[in-house]
């Protein structure tokens, strides 16, 4: 399932990485932020919306490790952020899609306004297709279901593909084996 998901997500223009443990994934993300020049100045922040990966981790320590990384996601901070991190609940293998209940506004701000969206997903939380996802997520429980596949794109000028028109121009998917089966 992972290989199929990875192939489709890459086909949609994503970067896909996979780690066994939360610690490894965390290291990757922090290093990624440093490499991308995250710093404590408007335009270079990183915002991280509340996610299960952070469970039991002191975010203050992380903020100290990477200056500019914020765990409070406001409208203004998201606007001034380069990178946004959110955790998605499911992945759809046959289209390379990520799915999330984005009812909480910080999830939408961090994934919609930033240049780079880092999306975390449990490797075990992949389903084969959309009908399978619909058995997992339902409007009766989830007020704002967001399906995300690849970066923001347009072909509205002469049908030429351009990436990053309103939303992120990069989508990095971090699959974490240890995060598996965390969802109801």
Partner 1 sequence: MKKGFTQSIHNALGNQNLGGILDRWNYPVTRAKAYEGIDFEALRTQIAEIKGSAAGHLNELAEQFKKAAEARGAKVFRANSPQAVKDYILELCLEKGVKKVVKSKSMASEEIHLNKDLAKHGIQADETDLGEWIVQLAHQTPSHMVMPALHLTKEEVSDLFSKETQQPLSNDIQELVKVARKALRGKYFAADLGITGANIAIAETGTLVIVTNEGNARMVTTLPKIHVAIVGLEKLVANYVDAAPILTALPKSATSQLITSYVSMITGPVQNDDGTMKDLHIILMDNKRTEMAKDPEFKEALQCIRCASCLNVCPVYRLVGGHVFGHIYTGGIGTILTAWFNELKTTEDIQGLCIGCGKCKEICPGKIDIPGLILQLRRRLATKQGLPFIQKTALQIINNRRVFHAMLRAASLGQIPFAKEGFIRHLPMFLSNLSEFRSLPTIAPAPFRDLFKKIRQPKCKTKVAFFSGCAIEFVFPKIGVALVKVLNKAGIEVLFPEGQSCCGIPHWGSGAFDMAALAAAHNLKPLMAEDVKYVVVACATCATALKKEWPHILKAEGMENLVPVAEKLASKTVMFTELVDKLIAEKRLTLKDGQKLQSVTYHDSCHAKRHVGIFKEPRAALAGAGFEVKEMIECDTCCGMGGSYTVKQPELSMSMLKRKLDNVEQTGAEFLCAECPGCLIQIGGGLDKRGSKMKAKHPAELMVDRFKDNPDQD
Where do we find the tokens 């028109």? 165
Q: Which is nearer to partner 1, 56 or 184 (CB)?
A: 184
Binding mask 46-85 for partner 1 (x = CB under 8 A): ----------------------------xx---x------
Among 15, 50, 136, 164, binds partner 1 (CB under 8 A): 164
CA dist 46 and 38 (Å) reads 6
Q: Are 94 and 129 in contact (CB under 8 A)?
A: yes
Binding mask 89-108 for partner 1 (x = CB under 8 A): -----xxxx----xxxxx-x
CA dist 39 and 47 (Å) reads 11
Residue 89 Cβ vs partner 1, minimum distance, rounded to whole Å:
13
Q: Are 91 and 126 in contact (CB under 8 A)?
A: yes
Binding mask 11-50 for partner 1 (x = CB under 8 A): xx--------------------------------------
Tokens of 138: 């339902």
Q: Which is nearer to partner 1, 66 or 127 (CB)?
A: 127
Q: Does 112 bind partner 1 (CB under 8 A)?
A: yes
Q: Which is nearer to partner 1, 21 or 74 (CB)?
A: 74
Task: Find, among 147, 28, 170, the residue nearest to 97 by Cα.
Answer: 147
Q: Contact region for partner 1 (CB under 8 A) — 26-34, 42-50, 59-67, 155-163?
A: 155-163
Please list the residues that pair with 113 across neighbouring strands.
Answer: none
Residues 137-151: b if buried by 16+ CB within 10 A, e if exposed:
beeeebeebbbbbbb
Q: Does 143 bind partner 1 (CB under 8 A)?
A: yes
Q: Which is nearer to partner 1, 81 or 179 (CB)?
A: 81
Q: Are 96 and 62 in contact (CB under 8 A)?
A: no
CB atoms within 10 A of CB 183: 14
Q: Which residues form the interface with partner 1 (CB under 8 A)?
A: 8, 11-12, 74-75, 79, 94-97, 102-106, 108-109, 112-113, 130-131, 134, 138-140, 142-160, 162, 164-168
């Amino acid at each position: 399932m992972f290989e199929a998901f990875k192939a489709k997500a890459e086909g949609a223009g994503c970067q896909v990485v996979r780690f066994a443990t939360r610690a490894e994934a965390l290291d990757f993300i922090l290093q990624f932020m440093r490499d991308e020049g995250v710093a404590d100045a408007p335009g270079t922040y990183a915002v991280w919306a509340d996610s299960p990966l952070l469970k039991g981790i002191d975010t203050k320590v992380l903020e100290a490790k990477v200056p500019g990384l914020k765990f409070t996601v406001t409208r203004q901070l998201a606007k001034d952020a380069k990178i946004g991190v959110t955790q998605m609940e499911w992945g759809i293998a046959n289209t390379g899609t990520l799915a999330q209940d984005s009812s909480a506004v910080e999830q939408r701000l961090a994934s919609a306004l930033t240049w780079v969206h880092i999306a975390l997903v449990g490797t075990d939380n992949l389903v084969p297709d959309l009908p399978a996802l619909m058995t997992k997520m339902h409007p009766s429980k989830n007020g704002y279901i967001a399906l995300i596949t690849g970066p923001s794109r347009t072909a509205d000028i002469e049908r030429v593909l351009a990436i990053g028109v309103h939303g992120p121009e990069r989508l990095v998917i971090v699959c974490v084996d240890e995060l598996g089966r965390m969802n109801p």
